[in-house]
Every structure is written in C-alpha cells, then in structure tokens.
C-alpha cells in the first residue's frame, strides 16, 4: 500500500483506536507509521521497507507478518525471533525517492509490544534529517521488557538523545528537528534467546511548547580569571525551528558551589523572558562578576541555577569557575620537578586516583564525569570519532572535555590519546603512511622520522597531544594478526627505525613536546608481544595474539628488550605493556601476564633502563589478570602500571583503587610515584598553559607536503622480489592490463587501523589507489578487477592481489585467515600471467604463499600496506624512482616453516630477510675479487666510522650477489645473505660483506 494510503480519515482512526489510546479533544489525530498488515514490504533502501541487520550472519532477527487473533490493531503483527551475540535488530526506512515525513506536530511515537518479562532493555531509534534513512542522524532511547502480554509503549520525542557512540554519516545539525524523518530502528537485547511481537506504530499527542521548546547554555563550564566576569549565553530553540507559541521564562540565581558570595563573586538573581513569537535560536546573556582577593587559591565554583517555565530546562546546571591562581604549580618559570611536587602535595587520594584513570570518550557522554571523577585522561579507541569526522570536530570535542577538567579543584588538564599508528588514522582525510612493516622495508631512518613528524603534526592539530605509537614489537611469526605493526623480525632493524620517536616527540630531552607539531609517543607492547607461540592464546578465537612468549633470559634481552632501551635513550614519554604473557625459561614463574610483571616493568624498564615517563595499560588489559577485580587493580599498580586504560569501567576502577589504598593493599608512595610521572608529562607537554587545541596547523592535514612524505615512504617500501626478464620498470608507451582485488581499493591498501579499528575495504578516506597512481603516471592502462575482460593485445599485465583489512587477533592465521591468496586472486594471476608478461603486486600485512605460481610470474613485488598514496607505488612501477626496498621479514615457502627468522639454525625460505632487487641501476661487475675489494673498503670505512660509506659498500655487494643468485635461492645462499643484513644494521660492514661473499660462493 502506498504511504499516502495510510492517511485515512479521522473517523476511521477513531474507530480503530483502542480505548487505552483515548486522546485529548485538542490533540491531533494519531498518524499511523506502520500497521504491519502487509502495506510495507521487507526491503531495503531506496525502497520503502523493513530490513534486518546484525554483527555477524547469526545476529539479524527472523521477521514475519504473523496473523494474531489478539493483534491490538488489524489482523497481523510484526513478529520475530532472535539470538544475538554481537548486535542485531531491524529498521523501517521510508522511501528515499519520496519526501521525508513531518512528525513535528506530535508529542511522540508509540507502539504495541508483546512483553516477555525478560527484564532486558530494547533500544528504539528514530532517523532525523539528511538525504535518506541511511544518511540521517540517529536519536535513541530504550524501554524495558518487564511485563507480560501486549502493552502500548509511549515515547515522547523529548526522551530521545543524540547517539554519541555511532552515527552513519557526518553530523547534520545535532538538533532533533522532526520535520524530515526517515524511519525508525529497533535494537534487540544481546545474550538472550527471545521472541517479540510489535504492532501499530503511530505518532500521538500534541507537541505543546513545553515539550518541543528547550533552553540551553553555550557551555557547561565557564572558567574566568579571578576578578573577571563570566558571560553565560542562554538560548531557546524549538524542534522544527518554529517561533515560540507562548512565552518562555528563565529564572536564574547563583547558589551553592565552593566559592563564597560577597568574597569571591557578586551574588545575583533575575529573570529572562523570551516572549511569544521569539524566533528559535534567540539568545540572552547572563553576566556573573567575580571578585579579587590577595590569597593564592585553588579553583572555586559558582553554579548558576536556571528555573525554566514554558520549555525544557538544560540537562545540567552551568558552572562559573574562578580559576586557580597564585599557587606554585601554576608558575611556568619553575622547574617541572618543583611544579609536580607542589601540585602532588595538595591533591587528595581521590584526585590522585582520577589522574591514574583513562576512560573512552564514548563512555563519558558530554563529559560530566571528567569533573565528577577528576579523570586524568580520555582516549578514542579505533573508530571512536566525533560526528562529523573532521579535524575541526575533533578539536571541538577535545576542547569540550578539557573545559570539564577546568571545573576541577586544581584544573589539571586531560591528556587525550589516540592510536595514530600510521598517520592520524582515525581521522578521515588524514595522511595515511605505510604500516610499520612497510617503513621497515625502506631501511630509511630519515624517512621514518619524517613519517613520525607528519603524524605528530596532524594529530596535534586536532587537539590530541598523545599517540599510542610506535609499536616496537619484533615480529617472529607472521601468522600474528599484528605483524604489520612491527618494523620487522630483527631487533636491529626495529632499533634503526626508532628515529620515528624523534619525529613524534622531538628532541630526547622533551623540550619540544610543548610545540604544536609534536606529541607524546608510546613504546608498545612491553615486552615480547611479537614472540607469542602459535596456539598459545586464550583470548576468544585468537590463535597467537595475546598468547605466551617463551624465551631464555638471553633471547629476551637480545630480541625483545633491546628496542626498549633504545626508546628510553630516545626519551620515549610513555610505555604500554602487552596483553601477552611472558615465560622466562628457568625463572620458576611460568607464564605471567605482562601487566602483572613487576620484575619487568618496575625492575627492568624503570629501574635498570631508567625510564622516567609513565606506563599506560592496554585496553581493559587488567581484566585478564587472575583473581577478583580488587586484585587486578592492586597487582597491576604494584607491578608499575601508572595509568589504567579502563574505557567503560573507570568508575569501578577509581573506587577500587581508593579502597585498595585505604586497605593498605597499595601504598600511597606507589600512588605518588604514578601520579608524579603522569603530571610530569602533562607539564612537559605545556598542557597547563595551553590545554585547548592549537589548530594553526590544521590546514596541513592531508596537505600536498605531507602526502609527499607518504608517497616517498610508499615508493621506498616496495620490495622487488623477482624481475625476469626485466618486466619492471614499465614504460608509458606500453599497453598495460591491470587486474586483481587490490588494484583499486583504498581500504585494502591502507589496511587495519584506518578510520575504524579493523579497517574496511572500499573508499573510506581521501587517497589514491595503485590503479589511479598508474593512470596519474601517464600509463596506458586498462582495468578489469577479475580479469574477465579480453587479455589480447597488451604488452604487460599488472595483477594487484593480497589481503583485506584486519587488526590484532582478528587477523590471526587460523582465526578465519590464512597466508594463501584468495581463489579470485589466484584466478586473476593465472589468467593474466598465462596471456602476457606479468608483474604481481602483493598488497598485504605479511608475506603470502606464492611459491606454486612463481614460475608463471615474471615480476613479483611485496607492496605491503602502502597507505593512501598509491602514486608512490606507481613511481617505482614506472621507473620514476628505483626499487630500493628490502624484506623486513623472511618470506616463507610454506606455513609449515613458520616461525622462520634471520639467525635460525635451519633457514630455507622462499626469499631471505634483506632480499630486494633494484631497478634503474646495474649490479657491480666481477665476482669474488670485487667482493674482496668491497670487504677491504668496508673494513676501512668501519674503522673511520664512515657509516654512509660502509652501508653503500654493503649494498653494492648485496646487488652483486643477488644478480648471480637470480631465483635460485637455496638454504646455503639464504642463511649468510640474511645474516649479512643483520650485520649491516649493527654497523659491522666488513663482516656483512664476508657473509655476502659466502652466499655468492654458495650460489
């Protein structure tokens, strides 16, 4: 039935209405939305219809229009069953091809629900504004199923709140206008098998002004210097933006708070009146004068109580805050150590506990709990973004939270953190770098530092001063879903790339942290997360992530701990322990979760290495410790964790920590140490002087200059594994046939930790795909994703294949993933390479098993995850730059070989660690005589400390060896070849040439 057919007569509606729905004489007639008599189909946008959705294939409910003799209206109801583990529900979207609906004349929406008395909450959402039901704002509320049988659920529109945790598109106006409605959605309870029935969704009641008009203030907190005057802006607005029908009065009075009237401020009271006919959005200002005295004081509050008639009052009482003044910790000329000591001496246990607590921004709503719990930190988890996801919205959001911190006694600013692991990857439009495995392939410390500097600039320009990066894991098994977060399998390579810390933080002494293009960096995950054994994970369906790393003491020191000493020497500001467990052979402890290892965090990191920053836990990591929650808290704090990332359980954490200290389970000395470390970094960052976002560099986000760095990194990260017979570089005169799943997919190219935690295929941010980069390079390109287009008449084919995005344990091999190309990718490779000379690019976070197809592939490139700048990949494909990348991890022949790493006693890979052919330059001529001469020169360079010369000599030797080896890569060749690259990274140039000579002789 067309939607217009539901606009039936008032008489018929009256006849249909149950007695319980009797209405006031002046109310408008109820307007049907859904009768479920078959007039609306099961469909999806852009059709008018009902559709289901869920977190996985089992989560969407099963729906039907069922005949029910007891139906509240008509003969049928919407009935369904559900068993949801993640999330699931159903939606009715109105047809996008027709005008949106106007609900503004009504008080609310109601429907009949067949209660099951399960005590669970069911969320009900409405869709307001935008282009259609899937591009509208979501406004949400809920009802509790605590009854049996049919009950009419009435929801006034004033009960709906804007969803802060998720919106399908960029924000529209954050106002429930009700004049452009696109439908509704029902989210069913999780974790319980159930059934439901629903009937007769309709609009009811009259939208009297007290329900559709609201009064708000422009802020919740108004900091003002002592003696200054706060200006509180009071605005009246209506849904639908109609003028006021009746007057609205706002009575105000200063009352309560910690400030004293007559001494700290002038008491005032009065009334504002917005007459009938006032336009929606009209505003008045209340001025609250404060007074000066001569004493140094902490901040004091002056609540401004508002009593509203004729409209809905603000959700909370605005507070004027007289800034703290005259106290030593506020004096920026004093040494940081003295400022910390002064502030710490004034703080209560509760305030200290707050500083040790980090919550997720989605958990604190508009931020009232920042003040209530004296929170020290907030974060955005992967994909936790403001709406719209723009730089300006990030800055506004973080400033709003910082404003809340100004209402605390000592006005200690928040430190806000994000996982910017390859650029500001949560922000749409940011410059996305190659993931760390690609940066490791560049072997270019200068470029790693530049990539860090670009990231820091873009992150800080959005108001974020803290980055949970870099990952200093040494990946030892590429079945790990986080292996792409590592610079490589060799600790010497990881150490060499730690120049990224200077890019992020600036100089090692911390003097640059206060600059508007630097952020506090985090070395993670301490320690051994890259060495977990396959099958040792006990987290859900993970196979290796968060598992157990079993090592000797010597292996621990040489492989996993070594990068952290470098990070400490470089002045790293924070360190994050790993979810994984550490089992040191012979120490008698067995596997112990890293968040509980006091010997490693306190003993090694802080005491032996001299780390002066603070330790931040991973997301809810303390919940994985044995024992009850109180022991989780005391164990982790005593182990040396200074701040807890407890995204949604911050209230429980602070209460438990306070109780543990009062019970003597955690010492006050330990608390003071943790808080001192945290405060030190906040002072170093300049947050006390400049808590709010400095957006002066916002124009550089995604700029040409920043993208040029990412483009260079993408180009240098490409590793040419095979090139016979000289297929690459391509020529612009060639007709090129491009195929494969990853040739034209920005999401696959950027990988996990991009816009969302797991990443996603498709176009989700601004960038250039590899295909577009090839076209930009001037190539004569034809594209057929599945290679279904005719293959005749082409000079060369380029097949871009590989993985789809994943992050962490979700990407573990064995957890729905493997190292083989998909069937579609294999088919594309086979078809193109059978028809013409071909180059295969593998876009992935780890090596893919390609050995069975090497014979048919003429050129093979490990492209890793190159980020948003596909032009960089095209630069080396078309010879604008030479291929110079080298394998940061060993490329295996089979999964059975894993783990396989440089230095192994048995080592027979497809390609060894350090392998990488080049273009646009010829390998040196000669054989062992040339290598002998290069070795002698390398020895001399080593003696002189001429590192650049030494590296160049080893490179020449490597190219000579690779030219002889070709594709005959044997175990006898691979082991000394890989060892040579490790020796090169440790500055032993002569020994590296000796190993390469050994590989040459074995070839």
Q: Tell which residue, 701, 700, 694, has the closest CA to residue 516.
A: 694
Buried b (16+ CB within 10 A) or exposed e, 196-233: bbbbbbbbbbebebebbbbbbbeebbbbbebebebebe
DSSP string computed for 440-462: HHHT-HHHHHHHHHHHHHHHHTT
Interatomic CA distance for residues 441 and 967, integer angstroms: 20
Q: Which of 808, 812, 825, 871 is catalytic?
A: 808
618 classed as catalytic: yes
- Inter-residue contact 139 to 211 (CB < 8 Å): no
Specify the DSSP class assigned to residue 54: E
Q: Tell which residue, 666, 344, 664, has the closest CA to residue 644.
A: 666
Q: Which residues are CB-contacts of 724 (< 8 A; sequence separation ≥ 6)?
A: 858, 859, 966, 967
Q: Which residues are CB-contacts of 3 (< 8 A; sequence separation ≥ 6)?
A: 48, 94, 95, 98
Question: 239 in helix, strand or coil?
Answer: helix
- The strand pair at 108-116 and 62-67 is best described as unpaired
Q: Which residue has the tokens 């120490």?
A: 587
745 classed as catalytic: no
Residue 165, token pair as written in the block: 């945790």
Q: Tell which residue, 721, 717, 731, has the closest CA to residue 795.
A: 731
Q: Tell which residue, 813, 802, 900, 753, has the closest CA to residue 481.
A: 813
- Inter-residue contact 642 to 678 (CB < 8 Å): yes
Residue 720, token pair as written in the block: 């040419």
For residue 196, what are the β-bridge partners?
Answer: 80
- 843's enclosing H/E stretch is strand 838-843
Interatomic CA distance for residues 999 and 978, integer angstroms: 9
DSSP string computed for 341-408: HHHHHH--HHHHHHHTEEEEGGGSTTSHHHHHTT--EEEE-TT---SS-SHHHHHHHHHHHHHHHTTS
Q: Which of 226, 517, 618, 981 is catalytic?
A: 618
- Inter-residue contact 719 to 885 (CB < 8 Å): yes
Question: 910 in helix, strand or coil?
Answer: coil
Cis peptide preceding 442, ω within 30 of 0: no
Distances (CA, A) of 505 to 209, 449, 457, 577: 54, 10, 10, 20
Catalytic residue set: 618, 808
């Amino acid at each position: 039935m067309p939607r217009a057919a539901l606009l039936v007569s008032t008489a018929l509606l009256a006849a249909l209405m149950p007695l319980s729905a009797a209405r006031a004489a002046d109310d408008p007639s109820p307007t049907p939305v859904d009768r479920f008599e078959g007039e609306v189909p099961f469909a999806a946008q852009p059709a008018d219809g009902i559709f289901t959705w869920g977190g996985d294939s089992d989560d969407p409910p099963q729906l039907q229009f069922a005949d029910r003799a007891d139906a509240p209206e008509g003969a049928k109801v919407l009935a369904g069953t559900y068993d949801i583990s993640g999330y699931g529900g159903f939606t009715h979207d109105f047809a996008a091809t027709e005008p949106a609906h106007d609900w503004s004349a009504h008080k609310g929406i109601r429907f009949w629900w067949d209660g099951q008395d399960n005590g669970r909450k069911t969320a009900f959402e409405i869709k307001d504004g935008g282009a259609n039901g899937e591009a509208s704002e979501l406004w949400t509320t809920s009802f509790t199923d605590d009854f049996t049988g049919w009950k009419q659920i009435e929801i006034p529109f004033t009960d709906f709140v804007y969803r802060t945790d998720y919106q399908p598109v960029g924000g529209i106006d954050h106002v429930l206008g009700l004049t452009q409605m696109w439908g509704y959605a029902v989210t069913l309870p999780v974790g319980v098998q159930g059934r439901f029935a629903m009937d007769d969704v309709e609009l009811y009641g009259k939208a009297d002004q007290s329900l559709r008009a609201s009064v708000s203030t422009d802020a919740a907190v108004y900091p003002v210097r002592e003696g200054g005057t706060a200006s509180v802006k009071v605005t009246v607005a209506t849904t639908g933006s109609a003028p006021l029908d009746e007057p609205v009065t706002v009575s105000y009075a200063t009352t309560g708070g910690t400030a004293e009237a007559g001494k700290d401020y002038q008491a005032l009271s009065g009334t504002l009146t917005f007459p009938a006919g006032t336009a929606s959005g009209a505003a008045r200002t209340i001025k609250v004068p404060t007074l000066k005295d001569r004493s140094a004081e902490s901040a004091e509050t002056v609540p401004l109580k508002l009593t509203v008639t004729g409209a809905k009052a603000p959700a909370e009482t605005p507070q004027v805050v007289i800034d703290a003044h005259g106290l030593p910790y506020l004096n920026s000329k004093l040494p940081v150590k003295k400022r910390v000591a002064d502030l710490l001496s004034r703080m209560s246990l509760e305030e200290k506990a707050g500083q040790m607590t980090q919550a997720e921004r989605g958990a604190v709503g508009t931020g009232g709990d920042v003040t209530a719990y004296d929170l020290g930190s907030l974060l955005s988890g992967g994909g936790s973004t403001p709406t719209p996801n723009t730089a300006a919205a990030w800055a506004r959001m973080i400033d709003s939270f910082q404003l809340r911190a100004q209402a605390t006694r000592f006005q200690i600013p928040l430190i806000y953190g994000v996982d910017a692991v390859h650029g500001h990857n949560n922000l749409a439009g940011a410059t996305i770098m190659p993931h760390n495995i690609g940066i490791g392939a560049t072997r270019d410390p200068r470029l790693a530092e530049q990539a860090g500097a670009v990231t820091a600039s873009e992150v800080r320009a959005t108001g974020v001063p803290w980055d949970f990066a870099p990952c200093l894991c040494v990946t030892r098994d590429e079945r790990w879903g986080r292996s792409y977060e590592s610079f490589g399998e060799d600790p010497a390579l990881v150490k060499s790339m730690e120049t990224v810390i200077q890019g992020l933080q600036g100089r090692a002494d911390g003097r640059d942290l206060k600059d508007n293009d630097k952020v506090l960096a985090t070395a993670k995950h301490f320690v051994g997360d890259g060495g977990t054994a396959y099958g040792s994970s006990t987290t859900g369906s993970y196979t290796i992530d968060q598992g157990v790393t079993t090592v000797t003491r010597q292996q621990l020191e040489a492989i996993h701990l070594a990068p952290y000493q470098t990070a400490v020497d470089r002045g790293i500001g924070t360190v994050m322990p790993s979810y994984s467990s550490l089992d040191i052979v012979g120490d008698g402890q067995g596997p112990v979760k890293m968040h509980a290892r006091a010997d490693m965090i306190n003993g090694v990191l802080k005491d032996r290495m001299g780390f002066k920053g603070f330790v931040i836990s991973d997301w809810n990591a303390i919940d994985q410790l044995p024992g009850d929650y109180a022991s989780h808290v005391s164990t982790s704090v005593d182990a040396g964790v200074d701040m807890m990332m407890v995204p949604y359980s911050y209230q429980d954490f602070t209460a438990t920590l306070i109780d543990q200290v009062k019970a003597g389970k955690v010492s006050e000395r330990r608390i003071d140490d943790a808080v001192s470390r945290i405060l030190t970094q906040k002072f170093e960052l300049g947050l006390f002087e400049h808590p709010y976002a400095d957006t002066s560099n916002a124009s550089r986000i995604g700029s040409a200059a920043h993208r040029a760095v990412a483009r260079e990194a993408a180009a240098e990260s490409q590793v040419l594994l095979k090139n016979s017979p000289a297929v690459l570089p391509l020529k612009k005169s060639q007709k090129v046939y491009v195929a494969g799943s990853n040739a034209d997919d920005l999401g696959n190219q950027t990988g996990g930790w991009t816009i969302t935690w797991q990443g996603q295929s498709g176009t989700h941010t601004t960038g250039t795909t590899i295909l577009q980069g090839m076209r930009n390079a001037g190539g004569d390109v034809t594209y057929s994703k599945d290679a279904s287009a005719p293959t005749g008449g082409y000079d060369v084919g380029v097949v871009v294949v590989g993985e789809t995005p994943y992050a962490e344990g979700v990407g573990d091999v064995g957890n729905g993933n493997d190292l083989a190309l998909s069937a579609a990718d294999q088919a594309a490779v086979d078809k193109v390479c059978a028809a013409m000379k071909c180059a295969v690019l593998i876009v992935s976070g780890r090596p893919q098993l390609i050995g069975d197809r090497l014979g048919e592939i003429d050129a093979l490139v490990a492209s890793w995850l190159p980020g948003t700048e596909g032009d960089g990949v095209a630069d080396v494909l078309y010879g604008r730059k030479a291929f110079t990348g080298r394998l940061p991890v060993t490329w295996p022949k089979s999964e059975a070989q894993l783990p396989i790493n440089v230095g192994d006693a048995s080592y027979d890979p497809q390609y060894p660690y350090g392998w990488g052919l080049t273009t646009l330059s010829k390998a040196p001529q000669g054989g062992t005589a040339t290598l002998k001469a290069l070795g002698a020169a390398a020895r001399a360079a080593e003696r002189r400390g001429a590192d650049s010369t030494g590296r160049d000599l080893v490179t020449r030797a490597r190219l000579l060896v690779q030219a002889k080896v070709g594709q005959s890569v044997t175990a006898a060749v691979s082991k000394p070849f890989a060892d040579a690259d490790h020796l090169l990274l440790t500055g032993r140039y002569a020994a590296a040439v000796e190993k390469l000579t050994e590989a040459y002789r074995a070839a």
